Structure 1
Amino acid sequence: MRNETLRLILLLLLCSHLHSVLSWKKEEFRTCHQTPFCKRARSRAPGSSSLIATDVTISHGDLTAKLTPKHDSQSETKPLLLTLSVYQRGILRLKIDEDPSLSPPKKRFEVPDVIVSEFPSTKLWLPKISSVENGLSSSVYLSDGHSAVLRHDPFELFIRDDSSGDRVISLNSHDLFDFEQLKHKSEDDNWEEQFRSHTDRRPYGPQSISFDVSFYGADFVYGIPERAASLALKPTRGPNVDESEPYRLFNLDVFEYIHDSPFGLYGSIPFMVSHGKARGSSGFFWLNAAEMQIDVLAPGWDAESGIALPSHRIDTFWMSEAGVVDAFFFIGPNPKDVLRQYTAVTGTPAMPQLFSIAYHQCRWNYRDEEDVEHVDSKFDELDIPYDVLWLDIEHTDGKRYFTWDRALFPHPEEMQRKLASKGRHMVTIVDPHIKRDENFHLHKEASQKGYYVKDASGNDFDGWCWPGSSSYPDTLNPEIRSWWADKFSYQSYEGSTPSLYIWNDMNEPSVFNGPEVTMPRDVTHYGGVEHRELHNAYGYYFHMATANGLLKRGEGNDRPFVLSRALFAGSQRYGAVWTGDNTADWDHLRVSIPMVLTLGLTGMSFSGADIGGFFGNPEPELLVRWYQLGAYYPFFRAHAHHDTKRREPWLFGERNTELIKDAIHVRYALLPYFYTLFREANTTGVPVVRPLWMEFPSDEATFSNDETFMVGSSILVQGIYTERAKHASVYLPGKQSWYDLRTGAVYKGGVTHKLEVTEESIPAFQRAGTIIARKDRFRRSSTQMANDPYTLVVALNSSQAAEGELYIDDGSSFNFLQGGYIHRRFIFSNGKLTSIDLAPASSSKGRYPSDAFIERIILLGHAPSSKNALIEPSNQKVDIELGPLWVLRARAPAVTTIRRPNVRVAEDWTITVI
């Protein structure tokens, strides 16, 4: 009886914690005023902690110096060590840390395994200091035309354009740098902090760091996800700005988050990009996984200092609770240059499997195998393609991950094989909280091996999450990551098959009874690291371990697919992310675009938002509009909370089913184009979806536009974000024309068009001067489209020219790394379309073999006077006639079409219009 009573009490406690996370409750989360390090930093006056750079020299190819206090009142502060390193591509790295020779209480945490292994080899060894200017500053070579300058008194670092003398980016120009050093605790020290009912011991005292960073020639700054707010970061302090919260980077499980807020959500990437017409783009990245707060300062915020402010400069103020200064400066000057530089440090996005960029069907939860089979067969019945069906936490045995509820899912292997027979896949959820049950083998093993995160007393940390009492693997430890990866083997994960992939949720980490619904800051990890120091990277290491598990489970030649909610710099190397627990309303539809664009700007190209909204029941119009917009997200998944009504595409009436089906068909038709863009992201870091200013960097009208976006360089999309909209104003940048993606109608560039809106689609356009590849035959899944023919859509510009690319590989393996791919460039000029091989000659032996051919070539903007086209080298003639722009779409307009050229995509050829 006592046991039953105890279980009831625990259940009631859990329910109260669950209730606390079921909706947004502002009081559960700390403000800057309630966060001592943020409050202290914001109140600090410029120059109150001034440092001087001394002992400046070159050592081991780096510029090194000591930073010592300028004022006698700070004589107890020990000197800091500064290291300045230069790397290829014009990348500057600054490190500032406590001097280990002065015996600090412990080594401050430096975030491991984020910088890619190749990056250190790109270091440029500095032979000497380039110049010393009257003993006041020292400069070193950074790249052709740029120098890095260290001012000695007071300490400041800036990058200079040597041709003009103008600054590009600087740190500590306003003398706001402060570095709280670790201390040994004495009897009189009381370092504890309280928030609500939680106490943080802070065993080494305050250890925060803060400094200002200025971007010159900038009109706007962007980045530092994750938040539900505008793409361009709004000022948070300064004249004519209502004092607001800084942008917070602290991974949190925020149920039903609000839009238009600087509040931190599930991920943190401390990387900011500036852009302006005067200079272009630059970037700043601080490799630090502790909580961070960042102010964007309005012009004139420091007017009282008497400093003359240059025009087109944006000042920012960065504050972190712990860690070291490990900062990277990127000089651009083009937006894509900044992304290439940033991903040279943190890695380019992983190349996904083809199926994973198609449509995913998910909800919390599909009930059982019968439900799965019904949903799957209904897609076939209605001829709606999809590639992945997802199972949430209810598929497990009592929230024990790597298990199945055998009453509901008695034959998981057979269920997966049925899906695989149609080229489809399944995803199951695996979260980091492990149920504390002595009969659960995973918990028993982790406990015996000491693999859990420890509480402040050195015991296994015990927090509450979906299973109840739970512990969390310490994935900072490489040994534990390897152990976790082994759990994905087919032997360990019983019921799994090669067509099963993984979803990591709740990995912020979410702890229902923890401070701010997460892990206490004084919990300890591998090497004595406090959780405060690595909090924002916990989910990153868990994501890494899961992805490595999928690599290890088979022959190691299938690319993993792992979706993660938490993210950090470098997460792009391990899989996809999504924007979390959004809501079925128009505001959340709209804010999904700046959220996805911001993730792309910070390396996370493979992202999307839950179609229809996770919470609530969308009206049919909202759901249709969300599918029409979501078809252009890099990650295209419908998902819903278990308390919502079922919302599969066929449940909203025949007309809405057709509209949703048409939106999904658009995505499948464009899969060759999307896959080509994912390969571009994989090789360059340039995201799949992009803000307009990335493609039109001199057009000021694009700088703050986050309702319209580019898919690659060829397609522009404008969402519809209001109910019963009849018209939409769409700005089409550039001097060239744009072709309506649905009708082929031509619109002038450089102006805003007021367009009539219908229920059938949202405004989308192909840029004149581009060529995109489509597949117009629709199958059950992308896998079954592998050998289907291609359609090329050639959108001619005013010079009757266009070009584009197509990338093809087997869609699943790593063979592309050994040259197993096809990469073609198509160029239309002077009436001739030419296919050129872009793959290096050295990879020709391992090329991906493909007999796929091109069945149609559509010429937009071409006068229909020509009747034939000549194909060489075969010397064949084919007809040119009017044909539908979209084969399977009713009332599709007729456009100039080269029919059945039947040239192979893998070969060189030319087609001349005669």
Structure 2
Amino acid sequence: MITNTELENKGDQYPSRIISFEQDVDSIFFYTENNIILKITILRDSLIRFRYTTKGYFSKDFSYAIDKTQSHGYNQLDVIEESTFYMIKTSKVFCKINKKDAKVGIFDIDGSAILEDENGFHWEECYEHGGNIVKMSKHSKDGESFYGLGDKASHLNLKGKRVENWAMDQYAFHKDQEPLYKVVPFYIGLHHNKSYGIFFDNTFKTFFDFCHERRNVTSFWAEGGEMNYYFFYGPKMSDVVTTYTHLTGKPELPPMWTLGYHQCKWSYYPESKVKEITSKFRELKIPCDGIYLDIDYMDGFRCFTWNKEYFPDPKRMVAELAKDGFKTVVIIDPGIKIDKDYWVYKEALENDYFCKRADGPYMKGKVWPGECNFPDYTNPAVREWWAGLFKELISEIGVKGVWNDMNEPAVMEVPGKTFPPDVRHDYDGNPCSHRKAHNIYGTQMARATYEGVKRFAYPKRPFIITRSAYSGAQRYTSSWTGDNVASWEHLWIANIQMQRMSMSGMGFTGSDIGGFAEQPSGELYARWIQLGVFHPFCRTHSSGDHGEQEPWSFGTEVIDITRKFVELRYQLLPYLYTMFWNYVNDGTPMLKPLVYFDQEDMHTHYRTDEFIFGNQILVCPILEPNAQGRRMYLPKGNWYNYWTNELVEGKRELWVSTKFDEIPVFVKEGSIIPKYPVQQYVGEMQFDELTLDVYYKLGKEKSTVYEDAQDGYDYNKGRFSLRTFSFNGKDKEIIIQQHKEGTFETTYSKFKINLKGLPFKVKKIEIDNEKVTLEKVQLNGDNFLIIDKDFSELHIIGI
């Protein structure tokens, strides 16, 4: 591993004096005496790309991470030459490039420095592999904080940390362990209340150092490839995150059932065991939508086969599970068993679809089936073939989702736990070694899986989950954080990983609730469920070699807590679905760390536990045993305690007492929170009423509810319902206005409006300027009223 000290070694080379420049529309090229070219491309006024080459020419421009459907454009682009520097100006920033050494500084329009090169770009010839080790160092400002980089198991604020990006199977990983399963080389810097971002789009092994070795220097480097990074300017963190998410792409809406609760174990078999588990959920009335089959459902771990002893008629079983509301999700790994009688292996062999070593033979490695070859998912023809393999599973048997595991790729009984570096890949017509393709292998597998499941699930929407991912994987797949441990430390890690993944563009993520390795106590499992229901992907999963880990494995009290919180998740499905709609449309993270919510408040910069779920619900998990409450920080604004409806002033730390069946949950004043009735699975019932919990505020607040058919693609044709509620609270008066978009007709016809924190008694109600009797809206001592869903204005006047 290259250390930061080695950045200063004698082999390093630097750009020399700039001797000329030229502009080609949105790109400016700077040429140095020693044949370096710096290409700066203005994609938006606040989004700038920097590319360096040491060869005198640029290689073909290709990236798996960038969403090519995204449009770009800017308001201003001026290039000015001064005596000692060049200046590129947009409407948001200006960029100075020193003539002497090509060092770059970026400033806001007021002239304040946002990010400046320290040593800037430099490189070291790597004669062992060919090509360069490319390096970049920047000055770090006083008080600067750093966030992002995917699912790192470290403190949310990365100041003082060094991290490594190399997708790796890390069974039972621990706090601060590097590297992990995913590679998201995107970070956010925050100083002087201004936020910026860096996305280092380089798929080789990369490193980031956030003032770990040198106090005021941030650096990043790669073991090959190009110095190619994108700079994002906020100044709000939300601007940085949404611009990055637009650049690397957003998912389509998932089917609503995927936002329900899922149950998984390595492994549920035979069929009678699967049915026993699903029946118990229905018997105990714990809502559940997804049931997972791990590798033991296959014949000798051969992908796309079934063990007929355990599952004699999978189509019948899947249909029977579906009738009871369970959607079946199956695992598919990349390792294809070397077996001349195995049809998948034969097809791949005949078409030359497997990865090869440098000197010709197929890459061979041991995984669950024994000796395997591995498809090269960086080859478009292989992805097309792989997609077609899902026809039977999806179209004929009726499986609803596919879970890609072991796709770092993981290989057993070898020191690096993966392919050797000399393995060759097509890389979509840009042939390369595994050193370059390793970090995107899992994403390209998930992409091929997505294309297959989508093809055969149509007109329904696909569901894919992956363990390994690179930036941009969110376009195809959800993810989970891999093989965690049943420990209190891992509960803390899971909380941070979800916040970090959300602000790194990969929102649809969860952890294995209860821990994958080892056995949780009932208390730990309960606390994990209480957190997990507030994560976008919600699944219990365990290795199964230590005992049972279903909600009923821990006694009656834990069953009741699980039911209570899973029911709460199902009630909040319209809120969660609306969160997802905001993510898909605007790139807004579904979970927001407090620093994202209010970067101006210095108290938020090192907070790890509390987060905003959506836009209006604040969650703070209990992360220690035997807790009867905890200290927490409430950010700006006023907040209602969800359990007591007590209104609490924010921007302060406080002690919150809780029972074992509660964690601190707060709702922002002025919010209108939509709720469904409790269902045992999504689509179990049609209902005539949507509950709206309305939290009084002296002032204004906006809330939205997005709904559609919960699956399928009609929403792309305008068949959706988007309701925007504008709340305006006065001393003795509330006005709620509703604006509706879309042509989708919901099954319900009424709203049940629960008025929370009302400081007055209701005297008069007007709906669309017509007075209605209090009896007609069924207002009673509980302060709820039932009204037609299509009202435009509700006016409540008090005494």
Distance, in Å, in 1 between the alignment partners of 2:455 and 2:524 is: 42
Deviation at 1:182, TM superposition (A): 7.1
Q: CA deviation at 1:652?
A: 1.6
Distance 1:494 1:682 in 2: 27
Alpha-carbon shift at residue 738 of structure 1 (Å):
1.1
Partner of 2:724: 825
Question: How far is the alpha carbon of 1:506 from its aligned partner?
Answer: 0.7
CA distance in 2, matches of 1:401, 1:230: 38
* Cα separation, partners in 2 of 1:315 and 1:813, compared to 1, 3 Å: farther
CA contact under 8 A between 1:432 and 1:542: conserved in structure 2?
yes
User: Partner of 1:252 in structure 2?
Assistant: 168
Q: How far has the Cα of 1:38 moved from its partner?
A: 4.3
**What per-residue deviation string (whole Å, max 9, x for no partner) do you get for residues 642-662 of structure 1?**
202112112221122111111
Q: Identify the residue that residue 198 of structure 2 maps to in structure 1.
A: 284
Aligned to 1:177, the other structure's residue is in SS state strand
Secondary structure of the 2:169 match is coil
The aligned counterpart of 2:31 is 66
Q: Are the counterparts in 1 of residues 196 and 235 from structure 2 also a CA contact under 8 Å?
A: yes
Q: Specify the alignment match of 1:227 in structure 2.
A: 152
Unmatched tracts of structure 1, length 5 or more: 1-34, 70-78, 102-106, 184-190, 192-201, 237-245, 302-313, 884-894
Deviation at 1:326, TM superposition (A): 2.0
How many Å separate the matches in 1 of 2:784 and 2:446? 47
Instruction: Report SS of the residue matched to 2:580.
Output: helix
Equivalent-residue separation in structure 2 for 1:265 and 1:639 (angstroms) = 19
SS in 2 for 1:827: strand
Residue 175 in 1 paired to residue 119 in 2? yes
1:91-240 equivalent positions in 2, closer than 5 A: 91-99=47-55, 111-119=62-70, 121-124=71-74, 130-134=79-83, 136-142=84-90, 144-163=91-110, 165-170=111-116, 173-180=117-124, 191=128, 202=129, 205=130, 207-214=132-139, 216=141, 219-236=144-161
Alignment of 1:584-603 (within 5 A): 584-603=486-505
Aligned partner (choices 163, 185, 188) of residue 270 of structure 1:
185
Query: Which secondary structure state, in structure 1, belongs to the residue aligned with residue 568 of structure 2?
Result: helix
Q: Counterpart of 2:746? A: 850
SS at match of 1:621: helix
Which string of whole-angstrom CA distances, capped at 9 and with x for unpartnered residues, describes residues 621-662 of structure 1?
A: 111111111110111100000202112112221122111111
Residues 36 and 56, structure 2, Cα contact 8 Å, conserved in 1:
no
CA offsets 1:214-250 (integer angstroms, 9 cap, x no match): 45576310111232111100314xxxxxxxxx30110
Q: What does 1:453-852 align with in structure 2 at a 5 Å threshold?
A: 453-490=355-392, 496-497=397-398, 499-526=399-426, 527-554=430-457, 556-734=458-636, 736-775=637-676, 777-785=677-685, 787=687, 789-799=689-699, 801-829=700-728, 830=730, 831-837=733-739, 839=741, 844=742, 847-852=743-748
Q: Tell me how far apart the structure 2 counterparts of residues 413 and 395 of structure 1 sit (CA, whole Å).
A: 13
Q: Distance in 1 between matches of 2:8 and 2:56?
A: 30
Partners of 1:769 and 1:796 within 8 A in 2: yes
Give, in whole Å, the separation in 2 of the partners of 1:116 and 1:330: 16
Partners of 1:124 and 1:96 in 2: CA distance: 22
Instruction: Provide the residue aligned with 2:237 in structure 1.
Output: 335
CA distance 1:207–1:522, shift in 2 (3 Å): farther
Residue 60 of structure 1: how far off its partner (Å): 4.1
CA distance in 2, matches of 1:756, 1:832: 31
Is this contact kept in 2: 1:740–1:765, CA < 8 A?
yes
* Alignment deviations for residues 408-453 of structure 1 (CA, whole Å, 9 cap, x no partner): 0111111111222233311000111111111111111111111111
Are the counterparts in 1 of residues 686 and 747 from structure 2 also a CA contact under 8 Å?
A: no
In the alignment, what sits opposite 1:360? Answer: 262
Amino acid at match of 2:441: Y
Change (3 A) 1:618 1:442: same
CA distance in 1, matches of 2:715, 2:10: 55
CA apart distance, 1:44: 2.9
TM-score by length of 1: 0.83
Report if aligned partners of 1:387, 1:424 keep a CA contact under 8 Å in 2.
yes
- Distance in 2 of aligned mates of 1:767 and 1:374: 41
Match of 2:773 among 873, 877, 886: 877
In structure 2, relative to structure 1, the CA distance for the partners of 1:641 and 1:150 (3 Å cut) is same
Call closer, same or farther: CA 1:167–1:440 in 2, change over 3 Å. Answer: same
- Tell me if the contact between 2:628 and 2:660 (Cα under 8 Å) persists in the aligned partners: no
Q: 1:66 & 1:907 partners in 2: Cα distance?
A: 64
Distance 2:528 2:47 in 1: 40
Q: Secondary structure of 2:132's match? A: coil
Alpha-carbon spacing, 1:899–1:247, altered in 2? closer, same or farther (3 Å): same
In the TM superposition, structure 1's runs of 4+ consecutive aligned residues that sit over 6 Å from their partners are 880-883
Cα RMSD, aligned residues only: 2.4
Q: Cα distance, 1:786 vs. partner?
A: 5.4
Distance 1:110 1:580, change over 3 A: farther
Alignment counterpart, residue 55 of structure 1, candidates 1, 7, 20: 20
Aligned residue in 1 for 2:43 = 87
Gaps of at least 5 residues in structure 2 are none
Q: Are 1:871 and 1:910, in contact at CA under 8 Å, matched by a contact in 2?
A: yes
Looking at structure 1, the residues matched to 510 and 389 of structure 2 have their Cα atoms a distance apart, in angstroms, of: 28
1:4-34: per-residue Cα shift (whole Å, max 9, x none)?
Answer: xxxxxxxxxxxxxxxxxxxxxxxxxxxxxxx
1-structure distance, mates of 2:396, 2:268: 17
Tell me the residue number matched to 2:341: 439
With over 3 angstroms needed to count, the CA separation of the structure-2 counterparts of 1:874 and 1:429, relative to structure 1, is farther
In the alignment, what sits opposite 1:296?
210
Residue 402 of structure 1 corresponds to 304
Is 2:285–2:680's contact at 8 Å kept on the other side of the alignment? Answer: yes
**Cα drift, residue 568 of structure 1:** 0.8
- 1:113–1:896 distance in 2 versus 1, CA, 3 Å: same
Determine helix, strand or coil for the equivalent of 1:83: strand
Identify the residue that residue 910 of structure 1 maps to in structure 2. Answer: 794
Preserved contact between residue 94 and residue 328 of structure 1 (Cα < 8 Å): yes
Displacement of 1:67: 3.7
Counterpart for residue 386 of structure 1: 288
The answer as to whether partners of 1:109 and 1:323 remain within 8 angstroms in 2 is no
Distance 1:40 1:752 in 2: 40
The aligned amino acid for 1:852 is Y
Distance 1:38 1:430 in 2: 37
The offset of 1:569, in angstroms, is 0.6
Contact 1:174 1:212 in 2 (8 A): yes
1:365 to partner: Cα distance = 0.5
**Where does residue 897 of structure 1 map in the other structure?**
783
Tell me if structure 2 keeps the 8 A contact 1:88–1:122: yes
Q: Deviations over 1:784-833 (max 9, x none)?
A: 2554522111112244x443110101111122222121111112224344
Query: Alpha-carbon deviation of 1:689?
Result: 0.7
Which residue of 1 is the match for residue 248 of structure 2? 346
Question: CA 1:899 to 1:60, structure 2 compared with 1: closer, same or farther past 3 Å?
Answer: closer
The answer to whether the Cα contact below 8 Å between 1:284 and 1:329 also exists between their aligned partners in 2 is yes
Whether contact under 8 Å (2:45, 2:75) holds in the other structure is no
Provide the aligned length of Structure 1 versus Structure 2.
791
How far apart in 2 are the matches of 1:578 and 1:779? 25
Distance 1:833 1:816, change over 3 A: farther
Q: Does 1:861 align with 2:757?
A: yes
Structure 2 Cα separation of the partners of residues 405 and 60 of structure 1: 60
